[in-house]
Amino acid sequence: MTASAAGAGSVHMIVLPGGGYAEHASIGSFVAQEVTLIRPAIARRVVLASSAPQGAAGMHGWAPGVIGAVGTPLTSPEEYLDVFFARSDPSRQAGQAALKHMYARNQDRDTSTNWATRQAQYDAVCNWGVPDHAALQRVSAIKHPVFVANGDSDPMILPHYSYLLAGLIPQAKVKIYPDAAHGFLFQHHAEFAADVEAFLSAPRWSREVCLPRPAESGSQGAGQQRSDPSCGLIDEHFPRLAIPRQALRNVRRTSIFMHAARPDEAVA
């Protein structure tokens, strides 16, 4: 099964009265993208962890080191740590604590995935990663506020795909957690949980708008305004506070990740 097919099937099982949010990591984040595209009314906000847009160049399969570590029927704890955590001592200690926590429960555990399931999962990852410019553009149709997150040393889904994804989604914000890999949300669990909570409770953040400026003398009637071709960012919660246009000159229009300035932030 492909991630797209899983997304299409998931919309029949998901019911979030009043509009909720979708939070998924890794291959689950691929499915979340599809669900949001197919049934946008299901979610209010979306969190995509360790994610990438469909069709991105370089996503067609994992790196040999990742395959060697987790692409076998049996994965050792050390191989798991090599992919899900960075090589530093603090990250490895966090990984060992995560493993201990995962296996602490002796009853009512989820059924372990078998080798056939893991192979099918990798097939879906490879299908998602076939270079396809048209598929890459589809994600731009997501109009929801989106929080994209990853670890700075993720060898499975490289961090630059998080920036690419956030650049394609109009209302996306990205955060890369330091000294962390594919399991950053296990390592930085408290910080990530706080970030998600802040994201879900915050007012709808910045969007790109064109700001009006006074009409030039003799061009229009007195008191009228005309559209300014230069655009800035403005926060819907603080409609009178805009980032000056000169601050955006070096920002690509397709890669805006910043939030609008708050009253306590310096605007230069």
Per the structure, the complete domain to which residue 228 belongs is given by 204-268
Determine contact, residues 231/210, Cβ cutoff 8 Å.
Answer: yes
**246 has pLDDT over 90:** no
Q: Clarify whether residues 197 and 210 are in a common domain.
A: no
In a shared domain, residues 136 and 215: no
Are 185 and 253 in a shared domain?
no
188 and 243 inside one domain: no
Q: How far is CA 50 from CA 82, 165, 236, 240, in A?
A: 16, 11, 28, 35
Amino acid type, 149: A
Secondary structure E strands in 119-264: 146-151, 172-177, 207-214, 225-235, 238-242
- Least confident piece of the model among 22-31, 86-95, 133-142: 22-31
Q: Binning pLDDT at 50, 70 and 90, where does residue 90 land?
A: very high
Of 169, 201, 233, the position where a domain reaches its end is 201
Distance CA 136, CA 250 (A): 24
Choose one of 175, 201, 227: the last residue of a domain: 201
pLDDT, tens only, 190-199? 999 999 999 9
Do 161 and 267 share a domain, yes or no? no
Greater model confidence, 255 or 88: 88
- Higher-confidence residue: 164 or 109? 164
| Residue pair 160/59 in contact by the 8 Å Cβ criterion | no
**Final residue before a domain boundary, out of 158, 183, 201:** 201
Q: What is the mean pLDDT of the chain?
A: 75
Question: Residues 265, 242: contact at Cβ < 8 Å?
Answer: no
d(CA 177, CA 187): 9
Q: How many CB atoms lie within 10 A of CB 42?
A: 19
Q: What is the pLDDT of residue 1?
A: 55
Residue 26 sits in a domain whose CATH number is 3.40.50.1820
188 and 212 together in one domain: no
Tokens found for residue 146: 């989106």
Q: Are 20 and 83 contained in the same domain? A: yes
Length of the chain: 268
With beta carbons less than 8 A apart as the criterion, state whether 148 and 173 touch: yes
Query: Which distant-in-sequence residues (6+ apart) come within 8 Å of 153 by Cβ?
Result: 86, 87, 91, 159, 179, 180, 181
At 23, the amino acid letter reads E
pTM over 0.75: no
Q: Is the dihedral of CA 154, 65, 79, 62 positive or negative?
A: positive
Predicted confidence at residue 112, as pLDDT, reads 84
pLDDT tens, 14-49? 444 444 555 557 899 999 999 999 999 988 999 999
Mean pLDDT in residue range 221-238:
34
Residues 182, 57, single domain; the answer is yes
Tell whether 54 and 187 lie within a shared domain: yes
Residues 106 and 71 in one domain: yes
Total domains, the chain: 2
